[in-house]
Structure 1
Amino acid sequence: MFTGIIETLGEVTALKKENENLHIGIRSDISQELKIDQSVAHNGVCLTVVDIRDDVYTVTAIQETLDKSSLGDLEVGDFVNLERAMVLGARLDGHMVQGHVDQTATCVGLEEKQGSWFFTFEYDPSQNNITIEKGSITVDGVSLTVVDSRKNRFSVAIIPYTYDHTRFHSYKMGSRVNLEFDVIGKYVARLLEAKN
């Protein structure tokens, strides 16, 4: 489990395809604190550390993960949002995040407003994922509050700290991001679907 509070950014140093798997090398300032078999969220995707060499560690994404997330879009030199799994008994500053991406979305709007930024994302509604006004959403692993919720799009307001310390400062129109919808909302949607 994660909280959606990003610890640091990591730089992609290597991408190696092996059959349907993608091995991703990441340089970060937390690499030497990690251990083999540890779970780390990468742009909201929970992946297992399989190798550590100095300040670079490696994780492996299987084909299903590549199909459901934007990790297959990564290039060497890109940065990813990183969060280690939460510690039981620690403060929950964001919301309960599983590290299981539901689908991707595309940035269709961005606007700076008096020191903050508003980003609008559009997603495929056919998967029956929902957002609600003032509900929680995870965008590339960042726990955020939904504003302007609609059937297939929503907006989020980003403060300067989040803008500077996550991938949000690199987003532009057309950027693809990973979404993890609020787990309670997913259960409600499934219950409603079962009743119909």
Structure 2
Amino acid sequence: MSAILNSVKTSLPKAMFTGLVEALGKVRRITTAGARRYLEITAPFAGELKPGESVAVNGCCLTVTEITATGFETEATGPTLSQTTLGSLRAGTPVNLERALKAGDRLGGHILLGHIDEVARVRSVQRLAGGVRLVIAVRTENRRYLVEKGSIAVDGVSLTIQHCRQAEFTASIITHTWENTTLKYLRPGSKVNIEYDILVKSAQRAGTPAR
């Protein structure tokens, strides 16, 4: 256990998130310069932001570079664009937003670093009484991070894995979460950012079975 905790401590960056989306923003403008993309995003909490702060955009930790009248500006480089769904964003696209945790904040979801592990695909979307059931397929080599009743982040939203089989998992989403995040726009075939639970990843690195 101590090996796992030590691994977690060395993995934690200055900015952390919980997977509880604060607000839906919208991409207002995108400017491309070489391998960089400059994004202007609307945010209802723009007046509380300062340059240099971290904001998770669809689960990706980005740095605020400027404050605008309706939101903020940020930038993403080649690796971030190619290894997340940020590269496919267009003007008008809605995005999940969450500001980084502050000292003393309650941890309502689970610890997220804002570092995307892979881009996965939605296999199915099933409407249920009181919510929605999602089935998402991940890369075969990452199935070891899937733990039933464990946590996972999908586009920055903290979810609980209900079932996992081979290289896919099922998550049930309550109506409130579905209606107040970009998850409501998902369809079979949609691509999503996945961040696995840091505790599960640390257990794997420490050689401790996660299951």
- 1: CA distance, partners of 2:98 / 2:27: 15
Aligned to 2:9: none
Aligned to 1:143: 158
- 2: CA distance, partners of 1:79 / 1:32: 19
Residues 44, 71 of structure 2: 8 Å contact kept: no
| TM-align CA RMSD | 1.4
Residues 130, 151 of structure 1: 8 Å contact kept: no
SS in 1 for 2:44: coil
Runs (5+) with no aligned partner, structure 1 = none
Q: How many residue pairs were aligned?
A: 193
Aligned to 2:172: 157
- 2: CA distance, partners of 1:83 / 1:61: 17
Aligned to 1:73: 88
Q: So what's the TM-score if we normalise by structure 2?
A: 0.88
- Segments ≥4 residues shifted beyond 2 Å: 126-129, 188-193
Deviation by residue 1:21-47 (Cα, 9 ceiling, x = unmatched): 111110121112111001000000000
2:103 pairs, out of 43, 64, 88, with: 88
The correspondence of residues 43-58 of structure 1 with structure 2, limited to 5 A, is 43-58=58-73
Q: CA deviation at 1:19?
A: 1.3
Look up the equivalent residue of 1:4 and give its one-letter code.
G
- 2: CA distance, partners of 1:127 / 1:90: 31
Matched, 1:103 2:118: yes
Q: So what's the TM-score if we normalise by structure 1?
A: 0.94
Residues 129, 181 of structure 1: 8 Å contact kept: no
- 1: CA distance, partners of 2:107 / 2:18: 6
Runs (5+) with no aligned partner, structure 2 = 1-15
- 1: CA distance, partners of 2:138 / 2:88: 17
Aligned to 1:30: 45
C-alpha spacing 1:95/1:17, structure 2 compared with 1 (3 Å): same
Deviation by residue 1:116-139 (Cα, 9 ceiling, x = unmatched): 100111111235651100000000
- 2: CA distance, partners of 1:73 / 1:184: 30
